[in-house]
Structure 1
């Protein structure tokens, strides 16, 4: 019975991955899903926030994403970094002129196999993002 349950879990993970790919998420849409939470979702504490958000946003299905930062600003505000609200760093990377409220979730423990358990750090910092076609497509780091 345990083996049957394992196969069912693998099937569900495969199905979730296939559905994500089938819906044709763009790099910009993926950036929004993984990094933008505005207004900030409520949770009793920052650890609970990270555990809930990482799961809700699909970053704990097959493997636990090691680290992820949520920016608590509107997509429009973050997108300004790709233009007048940012300065070139290198390649397609740009540094924000303004600081943003951030929550960084880091996987606790050594295994990236679900269930996933995260620690959280909150801060207000500038960000470095990659922009393509005038929109953010990758969160690089806080600076």
Structure 2
């Protein structure tokens, strides 16, 4: 059975909602979010493909179909859940500005990652003004 990103996103959002409902402390969820997605200053690599291969293995995110790294300071990312973002759904905020990101995609044929460095607005799930889940990015319009 092939990975289903929409299904996985739904499960992740459901988990975040359950955690919020049950009163799970937000700080551990934020710590996990930062470990999974934040990389600032951005790790040096020869190109975006090398960056993704290095980061995905170093962070033990093996064989994920896609993953996004946020290449901005944690303080700036955190502001998305406060004044730096707009409410866009239950416990979700969309950033007012774009951030540098790197999107990593896994190639099952080559058993490696390809990377694209770009910028985009972020949609994050927040818990008590802390980011706890990366929902998606919205590509900048040219």
Q: Distance in 2 between matches of 1:65 and 1:101?
A: 21
Query: 5 Å matches for 1:1-143?
Result: 26-60=28-62, 64-109=63-108, 116-143=111-138
**Structure 1 stretches (4+) deviating beyond 6 angstroms?**
none
Task: For structure 2, list consecutive stretches of 5 or more residues without a partner in the other structure.
Answer: 1-26
Q: What CA deviation, in whole Å up to 9, does each residue of 1:72-128 have, x standing for no partner?
A: 111111000000000001111110001100100011126xxxx94111111111110
Q: Deviations over 1:25-72 (max 9, x none)?
A: 921111101110001000011111000001111111xxx111110111
Number of aligned pairs? 112
**What is the aligned-residue RMSD (CA, Å)?**
1.6
Instruction: Name stretches of at least 5 consecutive residues in structure 1 with no aligned partner.
Output: 1-24
CA distance in structure 1 between the partners assigned to 2:59 and 2:64 by the alignment: 11
Larger radius of gyration: 1
Distance (whole Å) between structure 2 residues aligned to residue 116 and residue 71 of structure 1:
23
TM-score, normalization by structure 2 = 0.75
Match of residue 4 from structure 2: none
Q: Report the secondary structure of 1:65's partner residue.
A: coil
